[in-house]
Structures are given as structure tokens and as C-alpha cells.
């Protein structure tokens, strides 16, 4: 009972803030809200001063005022337009994860607790916080020259906020409790799976709160891009990295968000815009692992134009099927071959086979033609993917979370490219990467590689054949000497089936029993 009251108290506090921003519920959702929730509009106050703007904008401001866990919840909801709608998801994607910094004394205490006083002393003095977000903040430190003569090194230390795990755990517990109550309101609420949403958010936050995992993500993407000439990530300093501390190389480069500084340093903005688009697509299609938070504050440019990314707390993965789907879809739209795009949806199984390829291609043409009919500088890949996901729902395509995260990141990446070069053609930048992936993955050379791998597997099977034959001889000898001893329940089930099923079914059950017995003997 006390727990329920505690949850209600927290929800009432959040409700008052949401009400003051006119988002409990939004006026646009008034007719959609269950009758049990409509009374909320009369309970919580509404501030006329806070209610200007779209629902998504108001919701973003309200979540920011509620604090770190609500900001994270909003960022997570931005990846689920199927739940909150495309417009609100787009507004929530702009949520800024920036908070006042915590005290430097707390940062020093965490260093000593996690690294020990002696190792922490090696790091020298911490700078003032250079960035502060909902989960952690970043400090700059300079290591003194080593005894072996190595020059001083400058590091970036990302340090978890004190007590942030406990604070998030309490709020997530409240979210989970509220989700369970909402699911009791009716089938429509259950269809939206609020409990599953909260579970996914909790897992995501748990991963972000172990900074060793962020270090591992940086190391993985560094390995993937080791041969790329126009992109790199900071090296992780594992000697100073723990669950609450991430130490990386300090990046002394021009922030991508400072357009004037980029021009002053002689960087080619058109080339940078192309590099950003192509880098993102290479990571997504070639590697299946991409930075999912590529806003300008996380990107820097080194002399020579090399792009450097930081902050790997939010990453996206695409399995081989999703990568092929994305590449085939983009290639099909680039060629304006809508039937090809429709066929890949059905071939991969994203759209049920009962739907007509021609009908689906017609719907895709309705998306593609208005976009490709515009000047190249106005064509948006992110908009195309957004409309694609909306139309595919009409053809019963289930939401693919990994593709939604890709689309959300593409919105940000396109925005960054257009800030650098307002006339930039997203499609022309994308074409070489998509076409190269198609050549490497589904072209003749890829088919030859698959055939070679198939021959290797066949060769291993043939090499193992003598062992298989020896096992078969052992099984035959054992069966001849001892017969088969089945568990009484198995024998009883077969006997019952014999009296009730056809000869084919009985034969299948005996074959299954024999196979299980053979497997058991093979383990001897």
C-alpha cells in the first residue's frame, strides 16, 4: 500500500508539470483518450503561457523540466512513432540532454573510490566540467610526463552522476507501475504495450550507466573504421576506465557546430557534408553498427578534414537482413524502381505475402514521386523513410525498432549536412555508398564468396563423415546388444498415439524416439 501511495505521489508531481504545459492529455488526443483518463484534464492545472507550440514541443519542454529520467524517456519515445505519432516523435528527437553540472568534489570522490587514491592522483587536477548531461559529465585532465620519457597526455574523463543509478531506478519503477495500470484501461492501451516499452527503456538506461560498455562500443567502431581515411574515434584509456568512469583521448579539433570556425580553418563544408552522410551509411550498411547520436556537439573536424565522433552511449545495430533491406530499398528508390522495393519487403518477410506486390509498389510510388520530383537539395532520405514506415503499416508491416532508430539518426545526420551545405544533395552523397554495398554484398563477387563458404562447410561435413560412420556403427552395435530403453512416459505417449493417430503419425513419433535414443548413445 505504501509503495502505491509513493508511486501516485510521484505521478501526481509529474502530472502537474505535464498539465501546466498542456500535455495531459494533449488537446489533439482528447477524443482518443480512454474515458477513465479524461478527468485528468480537470484535475491538473494548465498554464496558458506554457501551452504555445505543437504538442511535441510542449511535451519536450515539460520533460526537460521534470529532469534526467524524463528526458531519457522522451528520447526513447522519439524512436517509437508507432506509439506517439510521427510529429511528436520528431519534436522529442530534439530533446537536449543538458543539465547543470554536479560538484567537482563529487567527481574527485568517485575517481578515488573507483581507481584508488594512488591511480587517481596520477590524473592530476580536474578541469571544470566541459559538458554535463543527464547521466554523466565530462572533465579534462592532463597526465604528467611518464618516467619513461613519454610526453604529457590529455584525456577526457566522463564521470557518472552521483546516485544517478538510484534516482533512475526509482523513476523507472514508477514508470513500470504506471504502465501496468494503463494496460488495465482497455485493449487499445494494451496494444501499445506500455510495460514492454518501459522494460526496453530500463535496459537501455542500464547499458548507458555502465561506462565500460560505452568504451567497448568506441573500441568496436574504431576497429570497424581502422582503414577509413576520413573518420576516427578517440582511443579508450582502459587503465582509467571503470563502471563509473570512461577515459578517452582528448580531441583537440574544431567543433562541427562552429560553422564560422570551420570556414576560418579552411575546411571544405561541401566535402564535410558529404563525408557525414557517407560515414553514417558506411557504418550502418557495411558494419551494421552505427553512432545513433550524431548531433553537431558530438562531432569534430581535424586538420585535413577527418571527422571525429565522441559519446558512444547510444548506438544502433542492424543485422544482415536489415542491412540488405535498407540497401535494396535505397537502391530501389534511387532507381525509382518501386516494384523492386515492394518485392524486397515481401521477400524478407517484413510484409505478409498475402499482399499484392503491384498494390504495394503503387503505394511506394505515391511516396517516392513527390520527393524525387523536387530539386536535389530539397530531397530528404529521412522523410522518405518516415513515410515508408507509415505506408507499410497499412500493409501490416510490424515495426522494426532497429530501422526506426536508423531513421531517427538519419534525420539528425541530414540536418547536420544541410547546416554545413544548404544545397547539399543527400541522394547523390548516398549513391556511391549504397551502390558499393550492393556490389560487395549481392553482386557476382559476393555470390562467389558465398559459394566458397558453402564449399568450405561441405568440406568440413565430408571430413567429419568417418566420425559419423563410426558413431553409427557404435549405435548399431549398442542397439543390437541392448535394444532401446525409452522413458516410461515416452512409451506411454507412443502407445496412446498408436490408438488415436494414423500410421504416418505413429511412424513419425517412433522415428523421433529413435533419433533421441541415437543422440543419447552418441554422447557416450
How crowded is the C-beta side of 137, counted as CA atoms within 13 Å?
Answer: 23
Residue whose C-alpha cell is 556537439:
297
Q: Please say if 293 is a catalytic residue.
A: yes
Closest among 78, 27, 58, 95 to 386, alpha carbons compared: 78
For residue 290, report the phi and psi dihedrals to the nearest 5 degrees.
-135, 155
Which member of 91, 293, 311, 421 is catalytic?
A: 293
Contact 242, 318 (CB under 8 A): no
Instruction: Give, to the nearest 10 degrees, the angle between helix 401-420 and helix 426-442.
Output: 140
Report the C-alpha gap between 125 and 142 in whole angstroms: 8
- Which ranges constitute the DSSP H helices of 129-268? 164-183, 187-191, 194-208, 211-224, 259-264
Angle at 426 (CA atoms; ends 378, 76), nearest 5 degrees: 95
- For residue 304, how many other CB atoms are within 10 A of its CB? 8
Residue whose C-alpha cell is 555508398:
433
Report the C-alpha gap between 216 and 143 in whole angstroms: 23
Angle at 26 (CA atoms; ends 21, 32), nearest 5 degrees: 165
3-state SS class at 132 = strand
Enumerate the active-site residues: 293
Amino acid at each position: 500500500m505504501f509503495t502505491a501511495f509513493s508511486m501516485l505521489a510521484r505521478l501526481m508531481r509529474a502530472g502537474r508539470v505535464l498539465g501546466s504545459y498542456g500535455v495531459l492529455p494533449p488537446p489533439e488526443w482528447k477524443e482518443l483518450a480512454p474515458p477513465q483518463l479524461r478527468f485528468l484534464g480537470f484535475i491538473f492545472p494548465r498554464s496558458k503561457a506554457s501551452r504555445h507550440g505543437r504538442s511535441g514541443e510542449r511535451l519536450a519542454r515539460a520533460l526537460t523540466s521534470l529532469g534526467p529520467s524524463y528526458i531519457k524517456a522522451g528520447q526513447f519515445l522519439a524512436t517509437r512513432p508507432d506509439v506517439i505519432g510521427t510529429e511528436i516523435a520528431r519534436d522529442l528527437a530534439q530533446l537536449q540532454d543538458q543539465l547543470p553540472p554536479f560538484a567537482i568534489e563529487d567527481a574527485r570522490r568517485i575517481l578515488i573510490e573507483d581507481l584508488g587514491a594512488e591511480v587517481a592522483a596520477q590524473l592530476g587536477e580536474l578541469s571544470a566540467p566541459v559538458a554535463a548531461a543527464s547521466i554523466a559529465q565530462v572533465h579534462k585532465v592532463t597526465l604528467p610526463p611518464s618516467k619513461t620519457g613519454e610526453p604529457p597526455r590529455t584525456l577526457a574523463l566522463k564521470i557518472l552522476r552521483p546516485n544517478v543509478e538510484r534516482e533512475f531506478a526509482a523513476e523507472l519503477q514508477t514508470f513500470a507501475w504506471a504502465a501496468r495500470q494503463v494496460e488495465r484501461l482497455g485493449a487499445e492501451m494494451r496494444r501499445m504495450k506500455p510495460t514492454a516499452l518501459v522494460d526496453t527503456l530500463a535496459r537501455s538506461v542500464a547499458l548507458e550507466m555502465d561506462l565500460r560498455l560505452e568504451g567497448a562500443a568506441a573500441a568496436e567502431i574504431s576497429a570497424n573504421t581502422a582503414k577509413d581515411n576520413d573518420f576516427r574515434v578517440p582511443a579508450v584509456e582502459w587503465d582509467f576506465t571503470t563502471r563509473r568512469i570512461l577515459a578517452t583521448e582528448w580531441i583537440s579539433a574544431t567543433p562541427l557546430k562552429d560553422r564560422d570556425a570551420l570556414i576560418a580553418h579552411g575546411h571544405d563544408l561541401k566535402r564535410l557534408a558529404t563525408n557525414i552522410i557517407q560515414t553514417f551509411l558506411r557504418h550502418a550498411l557495411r558494419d551494421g553498427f552505427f553512432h545513433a547520436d550524431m548531433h553537431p556537439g558530438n562531432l569534430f573536424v581535424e586538420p585535413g578534414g577527418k571527422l571525429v565522433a565522441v559519446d558512444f552511449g547510444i548506438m544502433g545495430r542492424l543485422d544482415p537482413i536489415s542491412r540488405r533491406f535498407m540497401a535494396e530499398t535505397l537502391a530501389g528508390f534511387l532507381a525509382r524502381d518501386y516494384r523492386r522495393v515492394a518485392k524486397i519487403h515481401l521477400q524478407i518477410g517484413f510484409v505478409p505475402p498475402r499482399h499484392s506486390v503491384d498494390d504495394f509498389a503503387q503505394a511506394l510510388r505515391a511516396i517516392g514521386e513527390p520527393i524525387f520530383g523536387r530539386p536535389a537539395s530539397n530531397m530528404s532520405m529521412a522523410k522518405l523513410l518516415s513515410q515508408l514506415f507509415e505506408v507499410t503499416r497499412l500493409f501490416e508491416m510490424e515495426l522494426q525498432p532497429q530501422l526506426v532508430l536508423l531513421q531517427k539518426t538519419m534525420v539528425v545526420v541530414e540536418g547536420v549536412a544541410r547546416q554545413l551545405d544548404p544545397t547539399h544533395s543527400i541522394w547523390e552523397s548516398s549513391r556511391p555508398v549504397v551502390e558499393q554495398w550492393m556490389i560487395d554484398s549481392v553482386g557476382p563477387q559476393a555470390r562467389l564468396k558465398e559459394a566458397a563458404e558453402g564449399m568450405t562447410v561441405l568440406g568440413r561435413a565430408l571430413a567429419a563423415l568417418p566420425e559419423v560412420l563410426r558413431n553409427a556403427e557404435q549405435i548399431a552395435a549398442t542397439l543390437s546388444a541392448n535394444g532401446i530403453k525409452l522413458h516410461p512416459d515416452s512409451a506411454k505417449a507412443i502407445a496412446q498415439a498408436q490408438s488415436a493417430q494414423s500410421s504416418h503419425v505413429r511412424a513419425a513419433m517412433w522415428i523421433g524416439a529413435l533419433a533421441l535414443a541415437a543422440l543419447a548413445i552418441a554422447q557416450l
